[in-house]
Amino acid sequence: MAEEIRAELAAIVWKVVVSEGDRVEDGDILVILESMKMDIPVLAEATGRVIELAVHEGDVIGEGDLIATVE
Amino acid sequence: MFETVLIANRGEIAVRIIETCRRMQIKSVAVYSQADSHSLHVRMADEALLIGPADPAQSYLDVARVLEAARISGAQAIHPGYGFLAESAAAAARFVQEGLVWVGPSALAIATMSDKIAARNAVAAVGVPVLPGSDKAVSDVDAAAVQAGRLGYPVTLKAAVGGGGLGVAVVADEAALRAAFGPVRDRAERVFGAHGMLVERHLPRVRHIEVQILGLTDGRILALGERDCSVQRRHQKLSEETPAPGLSDETREALGRAARQAAEVVDFTGAGTVEFLLDPATGEFVFIEMNARLQVEHPITELVTGIDLVEQQLRIAAGEPPSFDADNPLPVHGHAVEARIYAEDAERFRPGPGKITAWREPKGEGIRVDAGYGRRDQVVPYYDPLLAKVAAWGPDRPAALDRLRHALGRFRIEGPANNVRFFAELLDDPAYASGEYDTGIVARLRPDL
């Protein structure tokens, strides 16, 4: 089952930690967002494979924007 | 006095500086990034110049662009506020080199004091008690572990250059130190552009007390009372009060003396703050750092002393004496307390930028609001989360706290996340209400964080 990981807040994508195709486990850091001088790691919520990575480092994203899809 | 002053900042502090400029009939020049085109500080200033994109590295932190704005506007002086360029010795030196007046201490004083290790070594040399720590910067984890072993755990890992609680971690043992070192150093490098780290002994159950100082043009250093800043989350202040509750006159005088000594080491001029950790059980204190700039929480000192610190900064920078009689100690009237309203939720303190759909500031006797935003403004993720500061003055501490409680109950903010509700809990907390609290208070109110 594909799981869409979406942004919980407006932020800047500081670091993309994984690549498309990577295997990730529940709780692994996918990307690190920065908002208002705070780092916000975005975690995988299930074990699986990153089938889509929708953001690049430096992107500005809004609340609800797609970050990645894990299957 | 200057005719035109450029304010190299944004948000509430830019607005606050503009207000004093206006009162002193000084023309104020704001600079802004594309993200701030419609911001309050831009609307308030006499003139406003766009200096670059939202990314602070290409706007508020870009000395060349600020310099160009100063030239275009004909500004004679640069007020840096706090954050951004305020503690950049290179920026201060450059502006002076270009014939502008820097509203702040000398580049040399900034260079010494913005390096926490240099500052600690400098003040220790004149007998100011300091927190035990590494006497030079450590850049790798093994050197940090050696220092930590010598000092004894728990220790605080800290960026040697920096502030605002960024790039700081408290670690309980060597395993935790090894896990934390890399991320903390990376964070420090990204935010402050420096990778030297400092290892300090961590003192539990202490109070964070700071002394406001003013270095005059004749070389005298005045201590304008202390502020208790022990209410912190993520090593960053949430609320401050003055006078610090429960200090003996003896301790208060000793703090003032130590702060003056620290400032004298660097021939400090202008407004600054010397920070200490104080053991409430013994009244003993140690120096931790000095901020060579105006402090976020300066309004509470203004409320109890009746002086405008920004005015004093401008007067000192212009080579003038202060507006008050420096030969007599300033009387402190009553008590003042401040709440920092951040765009973050009141439970977990997670940031939540957004568009402000409703904004109504509280008003009332003894209430002062320093805001950087208003209705319809956009709170963007690029900058720090401070929306406004609500300060309350009262004839005594219970009266000030009561006024703050009522004022916060009337502050209406809709749109972005905000932490207003947190302060109701803080004010109801028995330890806070009694004045017997320490830097662990927020962790006790939020044990899951």
The pLDDT tens digits of the residues spanning A12-70 come to: 999 999 999 999 999 999 999 999 989 899 999 989 999 999 999 999 999 999 999 99
Query: C-alpha distances in angstroms, B203 versus B152, B208, B248, B363?
Result: 11, 11, 21, 39
| Chain-chain contact of B343 with A36 (C-beta, under 8 angstroms) | yes
pLDDT of res. A25: 94
- Backbone phi, psi, residue B125, to 5°: -65, -25
Instruction: Return the closest-CA partner of residue B337 out of B248, B424, B228.
Output: B228
Q: Which residues contact B114 (CB under 8 A, 6 or more apart)?
A: B87, B88, B89, B161, B292
Helix (H, G, I), strand (E, B) or coil at A48: strand
Q: Name the residue among A14, A35, A60 with its Cβ closest to that of B351.
A: A35
| Chain-chain contact of A39 with B187 (C-beta, under 8 angstroms) | yes
HSE at residue B421, side-chain half, CA atoms within 13 A, is: 10
| Chain B environment of A36 (Cβ under 8 Å) | 342-344, 351, 353, 381, 383-385
Helix%, strand%, coil% for chain B, nearest 5: 35, 25, 40
Q: Which residues contact B45 (CB under 8 A, 6 or more apart)?
A: B7, B14, B18, B28, B29, B30
Question: How many other β-carbons are positioned within 10 Å of the β-carbon of residue B250?
Answer: 9
Instruction: List chain B pLDDT tens, one digit each, 449 residues.
Output: 999 999 999 999 999 999 999 999 999 999 999 999 999 999 999 999 999 999 999 999 999 999 999 999 999 999 999 999 999 999 999 999 999 999 999 999 999 999 999 999 999 999 999 999 998 899 899 999 999 999 999 999 998 887 777 888 999 999 999 999 998 888 888 777 777 899 999 998 999 999 999 999 999 999 999 999 999 999 899 999 999 999 999 999 999 999 999 999 999 999 999 999 999 999 999 999 999 999 999 999 999 999 999 999 999 999 999 999 999 878 899 999 999 999 999 999 999 999 999 999 999 999 999 999 999 999 999 999 999 999 999 999 999 999 999 999 999 999 999 999 999 999 999 999 999 999 999 999 999 98
Helix%, strand%, coil% for chain A, nearest 5: 0, 55, 45
- Mutate: best of B350, B384, B387, B419, partner A, most A CBs <10 A: B350
The DSSP code for B133 is B
Distance CA B278, CA B244 (A): 11
Q: Name the residue among B191, B381, B384 with its Cβ closest to that of A12.
A: B381
Q: Which residues pair with A43 in a beta bridge?
A: A29
pLDDT of res. B215: 98
| Chain-chain contact of B351 with A40 (C-beta, under 8 angstroms) | yes
Q: Which two tokens stand for residue A53?
A: 């990575």
Instruction: Return the closest-CA partner of residue B181 out of B204, B163, B162, B198.
Output: B198
Q: Is the ipTM of this complex over 0.95?
A: no
State the DSSP H helix or E strand holding residue B346, giving kind and residue range, or none if neither: none
* Shortest distance, CA B431 to any CA of chain A (angstroms): 29
Q: Which two tokens stand for residue B278?
A: 């104080």
List the Cα angle B289/B290/B294 in 5-degree steps.
140
Work out how many CB contacts closer than 8 A connect A with B: 44
Pairing of strands A29-35, A23-24: unpaired
pLDDT of res. B183: 87
State the DSSP H helix or E strand holding residue B70, giving kind and residue range, or none if neither: helix B63-73
Residue B38 exposed, middle or buried by CB count within 10 Å (0-12, 13-18, 19+):
exposed
Q: Which residues contact A41 (CB under 8 A, 6 or more apart)?
A: A29, A31, A32, A33
Distance CA B200, CA B153 (A): 9
Question: How many other β-carbons are positioned within 10 Å of the β-carbon of residue B219?
Answer: 10
